[in-house]
Structure 1
Amino acid sequence: MRGAFVLSACPFRAPEIGETRAALEAYGLPIVPGEITDRRAFARAVTTGSAVTEFEAEGRAAEEIRALWAWIKDTLERK
């Protein structure tokens, strides 16, 4: 795989997310399912020097990061 698109800092449930996905399909690269939304937990984690998965391990921001990692890992293992 040459690369993939990750939608990051997305406004929660914004209609532009679907529009962006549609526009990116023209490039022929995979688009990671789901997105990383603009959540306060990311900014708060940075101020403590932590990853969001450490700062708020059971929060939605951490879930998004774990889902991204699972997709990356699964994609690489299929190669």
Structure 2
Amino acid sequence: MRITLVAVAFIAVSTSAAPANEPPIQGPADAACREQARAQVFTAPNPNRLSLWDLGSQIWHTCMASYHAGGPNPGRQEQRF
């Protein structure tokens, strides 16, 4: 009984502490980039031997830069009178 209780407590603490390390999601681009970083962190090349946290952050920053590269309205053309 005690082992089961300890196991449940350990799982509850370990799963609740993970989101506390990350700021709240700010939008759909942020959510998509977080998912991409989580999916690629173990398979992405890591020649600089970064920690998993730093590698995931690098993947996230690259993804967010690609979202913001086109600007807020990439297809819009400025019209002046």
Q: TM-score, normalised by structure 2?
A: 0.32
Structure possessing the higher radius of gyration over alpha carbons: 2
Point out the structure with the larger strand share: 1
